[in-house]
């Protein structure tokens, strides 16, 4: 079996868990492959895409490349149009030609993670932060028929209103409403933290007050380090189902492996790798 080669690009890329996760996934599915890290500056992406990266079988993209990669791909699937970004590229080689195909696995990673936790995607979803991942959550939830409360700091609220207008145009008037975070005090069927607030080493920070958490039926935090963020800890203490973003991270990677190789994984596989990821983080 020919060895396959994959990787992740970003700038700066830092201490990513992607090689650890993908190595585990490839071992589970019997794929002979490796996974490398590439720190590529934005101004070098186009050249690197057609040279270094095109030698791979595929790669993942993280900040700041998700929009730029979308413009470089030869073909895109429907997820790219929905989210306006690409985080996974496959290079399909046919004789001497190479075709690049792009998709985004963020949405399916989120949907699968909350489903495993028994959290329903319906009703009113409140999303704190409307950057890249927040917009993925918003589009995913709106597509599922949810209504949205979009929370943002005052300095960024106007950009969020523009984004909300696009959601309402796509999914129907009244789908999304915008609030300054500290002014919000409504009810939520699902509360999502899509900001880095509470991420290690700033583990004592919480994106919203206790009153917002207590009025939520479930909580999801995209942050995965620490293993129990403060917003998740507060929710669990109040008897509210809550989880961090590690399972989503693993499901995103699993979806990339499916895109590349057709590999399939069950919930037990994902849960075990997520557990091993937390153990790996503790060593770093």
Count of domains forming the chain? 2
Give the model's pLDDT for residue 74: 96
- How confident is the prediction along the chain (284 residues), in pLDDT tens digits per residue? 689 999 999 999 988 999 999 999 999 999 999 999 999 999 999 999 999 999 999 999 998 999 899 999 999 999 888 888 899 999 998 887 899 999 999 999 999 999 999 999 999 999 999 988 899 999 999 999 999 999 999 999 999 999 999 999 999 999 999 999 999 999 999 999 999 999 999 999 999 999 999 999 999 999 999 999 999 999 999 999 999 999 999 999 999 999 999 999 999 999 999 999 999 998 88
Regarding pTM above 0.85, the answer is yes
Residue ranges making up the domain that contains 84: 4-106+247-283
Identify whether 66 is a catalytic site residue. yes
Quote the crossing angle between the two packed helices 267-283 and 246-261, to the nearest 10°: 120
Radius of gyration of the chain (CA): 19
Catalytic residue, chosen from 3, 24, 27, 66, is 66
Residue 28 in any domain: the answer is: yes
**For the chain, what is the total number of helices (H) and then of strands (E)?**
11, 12
Gap between the Cα atoms of 48 and 150, Å rounded: 36
Give the model's pLDDT for residue 119: 96
Give the model's pLDDT for residue 177: 98
Distance of CA 174 to the CA centre of its chain: 25
Give the model's pLDDT for residue 1: 66
Q: In what order do the strands lie in the sheet with 176-180?
A: 176-180, 147-152, 124-128, 190-193, 219-221, 242-243
212 and 157 co-located in one domain: yes
Give the model's pLDDT for residue 2: 87
141 and 225 co-located in one domain: yes
Please, are residues 131 and 152 in contact by the beta-carbon 8 Å criterion? no
- For residue 145, the tally of other CB atoms under 10 A from its CB is 12
234 and 126 co-located in one domain: yes
CB proximity list for 186: less than 8 A, separation 6 or greater: 124, 126, 149, 179, 212, 215
Residue 26 in any domain: the answer is: yes
Give the model's pLDDT for residue 213: 98
Residue 111 in any domain: the answer is: no
* CATH number where 65 lies: 3.40.50.10860
**52, 70, 89, 137 from 97: Cα distances, Å:** 15, 20, 16, 36
146 and 91 co-located in one domain: no
Structure tokens at 159: 């950009």
155 and 177 co-located in one domain: yes
* CATH number where 149 lies: 3.40.50.720
Give the model's pLDDT for residue 96: 79
204 and 258 co-located in one domain: no
The single residue listed with the structure tokens 């002979």 is: 32
Please, are residues 140 and 107 in contact by the beta-carbon 8 Å criterion? yes
Residue 51 in any domain: the answer is: yes
- Nearest one of 102, 104, 105 to 89, comparing CA atoms: 102
Gap between the Cα atoms of 103 and 92, Å rounded: 14
189 and 265 co-located in one domain: no
- For residue 38, the tally of other CB atoms under 10 A from its CB is 16
30 and 88 co-located in one domain: yes
Gap between the Cα atoms of 220 and 246, Å rounded: 11
Secondary structure element (H or E) that encloses residue 125, with its range: strand 124-128
Please, are residues 207 and 181 in contact by the beta-carbon 8 Å criterion? yes
216 and 128 co-located in one domain: yes
């Amino acid at each position: 079996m020919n060895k396959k080669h994959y990787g992740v690009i970003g700038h700066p890329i830092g201490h990513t868990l992607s090689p650890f996760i993908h190595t585990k996934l490839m071992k589970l599915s019997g794929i002979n492959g490796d996974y490398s890290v590439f720190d590529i500056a934005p101004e070098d992406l186009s050249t690197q895409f057609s040279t270094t990266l095109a030698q791979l079988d595929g790669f993942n993209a993280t900040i700041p490349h998700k929009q730029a990669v979308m413009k470089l791909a030869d073909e895109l699937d429907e997820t790219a149009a929905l989210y306006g970004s690409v985080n996974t590229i496959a290079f399909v080689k046919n004789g001497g030609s190479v075709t690049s195909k792009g998709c985004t696995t963020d949405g399916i990673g989120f949907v699968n993670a909350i489903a495993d936790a028994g959290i329903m995607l319906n009703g009113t979803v409140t999303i704190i932060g409307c950057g890249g991942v927040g917009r993925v959550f918003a589009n995913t939830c709106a597509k599922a028929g949810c209504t949205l409360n979009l929370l943002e700091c005052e300095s960024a609220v106007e950009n969020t209103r523009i984004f909300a207008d696009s959601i309402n145009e796509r999914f129907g008037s009244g789908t999304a409403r915008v609030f300054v975070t500290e002014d919000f005090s409504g009810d939520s069927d699902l509360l999502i933290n899509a900001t880095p607030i509470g991420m290690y080493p700033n583990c004592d920070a919480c994106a919203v007050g206790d009153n917002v958490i207590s009025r939520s039926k479930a909580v999801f935090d995209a942050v995965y380090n620490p293993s129990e963020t403060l917003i998740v800890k507060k929710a669990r203490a109040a008897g509210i189902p809550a989880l961090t973003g590690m399972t989503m991270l693993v499901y995103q990677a699993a979806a990339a492996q499916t895109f590349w190789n057709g590999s399939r994984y069950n919930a037990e596989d994902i849960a075990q790798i997520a557990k091993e990821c937390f153990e790996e983080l503790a060593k770093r």
